[in-house]
Amino acid sequence: MSSVFAKLGALLIAALLLAGMQRFTPGYTEITGPIPLKGDLGETLAGRGFTVRADKVLLAETLRFKAYGREVERNSGGVFALVIARLEAQPTSTTVSGAIWLSAQGARFVASPRFQGAPRLLGTDRLEPSLPQRGVFIFEVPREAVAGATLLVAASRWPRLDTQAEIALPVTLGTPAPLIDLGELAYE
Amino acid sequence: MTVSWLANLRQAVSSKLTIGIGGLLALAITSGQSLLEALEPPVLPALATGAPLDAGRWRIALHEARLTTRSRPDGPPAPDGAQFLALELDIANRSSETDNTFARTFTVDPPIDALQPNPTFWLMRDKAMLSALQPGLPERVRVIWRLAPGATAPERLRLVVNGETFKPRDNLFAAPGWFNRKPIAAATLPIAAVEARP
């Protein structure tokens, strides 16, 4: 009789152990996920394939730019968040197309696709070594997603075992400007 | 000798029984499931015009459908006299990530032969093609189908809205995602005639 209990107990312990391992060990995506590279605004971060430095964050209600010879104005139900940054390939040519605005609530906003043809847009052109690009990442976010966000920069949207720069952005960013002309922005 | 023979027999019988019971249970469960699926009534809840519906990843509200001669929201009438079906809707991304799979949120059911497949989605804010929706920012969208040349225009459009469920850990990679897309509501919209040309 006691051997039956011992067997049952062993079974129970094994089941608990397995359930605990399933629940509390990191999953496949976490193990093979991005390699974080933490930093602050104004700090140059050197990752595996590129270096990045974010300098300034601006907010705007409306953005104006010239694309393919046409004046374009974009407004939003939320607000536009602009990050002026510097990117450089290191050590070979690469594309850094995974810029994400990670809000304090955990929502991930990919750089807005509504600015095709805008000047000095980062993340679209190929980067070359020792030819740094200065430009802007443009995100469209709800107003409540502005405070305490983090900028994620990686070669792809879902980096696997690759660098992801995590740049902490200022907690308070003031009120958004009514209109910013992307052609007149000071990038230097 | 006899005792060990008996014990062997008992063990064999009990293991066979255990395996048999497991198999029978599995069989019963799967047959029950398929029976339930077969019994499920195909009647979907009706979605009223303009009423918002949470369909997993998307919140959508269907507004109106009408025939038009314009292939895009800000363009001139199509030169070859082609007709288009335009559907107005509000759509919001409820997930935590920028997404572009909005084309899968509804299907025309029953399918209308006159409609050419793969409609274009237009973001009315920009009068430009919609490429992705940001979480928490609802947008007015126009979906435009081209009508096959010479086809008679349909009178009503029945749309089936598909819902998805969020899984924090999927079965393959333990990654979060949206799964089990299935119809959750249906809406029937009357199709308004072509607006008079100015």
In a domain, B47, yes or no: no
Give the separation between CA B182 and CA A135, rounded to whole angstroms: 43
B46 within some domain? no
* A80 inside 8 A of chain B by CB: no
pLDDT in tens, A55-74: 999 999 999 999 999 999 99
Residue percentage of chain A with pLDDT more than 90: 83
Check whether residue B139 and residue B87 sit in a common domain.
Answer: yes
- pLDDT in the model for residue A1: 67
Nearest residue of chain A to residue B94 (CA atoms): A107
Q: Say whether A27 and B138 touch across the interface (CB within 8 A).
A: no
Mean pLDDT, to the nearest integer, of A135-148? 95
Of B131, B138, B174, the CB nearest to A113: B131
**B169–chain A nearest CA distance, Å:** 9
> Cβ separation of B98 and A141 shorter than 8 Å?
no
| A137 has a chain B CB within 8 A of its CB | no
**Minimal Cβ distance to A78: which of B123, B137, B175:** B137
Mean pLDDT of A83-89: 96
Among chain A residues, CA nearest to B128? A114
Which pLDDT belongs to residue B196?
A: 59
pLDDT of residue B153: 83
- B25 and B104 housed in the same domain: no
pLDDT for B1? 55
Q: Distance between CA A136 and CA B93 in Å, rounded? A: 25
Report pLDDT digits (tens) over A103-121.
999 999 999 999 999 999 9
- Quick check: A142 and B138 CB within 8 A? no
Q: Do B175 and A28 lie within an 8 Å CB cutoff?
A: yes
How high is the pLDDT of residue A172?
Answer: 87
pLDDT of residue A115: 94
- Residue A141 pLDDT more than 70? yes
Q: List residues of chain B with CB under 8 Å from any CB of chain A.
A: 96-98, 123, 125-126, 128, 131-132, 134-139, 169, 173-175
Name the segment(s) of chain A with CATH classification 2.60.40.1240.
34-184
B198 part of a folded domain = no
Residue of B nearest to A105 (CA): B96
Measured between CA atoms, the residue of chain A closest to residue B169 is A27
Residue B136: which of A75, A112, A145 has the nearest Cβ? A145
Q: Is residue B162 a part of any domain in this protein?
A: yes
Residue B6 pLDDT: 85
Residues B33 and B60 in one domain: no
CB pairs under 8 A between A and B: 58
Q: Cα–Cα distance between B188 and B44 in angstroms, integer? A: 12
**Residue B7: predicted pLDDT:** 87
Q: What is the pLDDT of residues A11-24, one digit of tens each?
A: 999 999 999 998 88
Do residues A39 and A166 make contact, with C-beta atoms less than 8 angstroms apart?
A: yes
Whether A184 has a pLDDT exceeding 60, the answer reads yes
User: Are the CB atoms for B138 and A77 separated by under 8 Å?
Assistant: yes
Inter-chain contact A28–B173, Cβ cutoff 8 Å? Answer: yes
Rounded mean pLDDT for each run of 10 residues along chain B, 198 residues in total: 79 86 91 85 87 94 93 88 93 95 92 92 94 96 92 90 92 88 93 72
- Indicate if B72 and B164 belong to the same structural domain: yes
Domain count, chain B: 2
Contact (CB<8Å) B125/A75: yes
| One domain, residues B58 and B32 | no
Residue A151 in contact with residue A110, Cβ under 8 Å? no
CA neighbor of A81 nearest in space, from A167, A163, A155, A158: A167
What element of type H or E holds B14? helix B2-39
In a domain, B197, yes or no: no
Asked if residue B10 is part of any domain, the answer here is yes
Share of residues in chain A with pLDDT > 70 (%):
99
Q: Which of the following CATH numbers is that of domain A34-184: 3.60.21.10, 3.40.50.300, 2.60.40.1240, 3.40.50.2300?
A: 2.60.40.1240
Chain-chain contact of B126 with A114 (C-beta, under 8 angstroms)? yes
Task: Looking at the structure, tell me whether residues B103 and B185 fall in a common domain.
Answer: yes
Q: Are residues B77 and B113 in the same domain?
A: yes
H helix or E strand, kind and range, residue B191: strand B177-192
- Is A107–B128 a contact, with Cβ atoms under 8 angstroms apart? no
pLDDT of B2: 63
The reply to whether B67 and B105 lie within a common domain is yes
For the entire predicted model, the pTM comes to: 0.85
Owning domain of residue B35: 1-40
ipTM score of the complex?
0.88
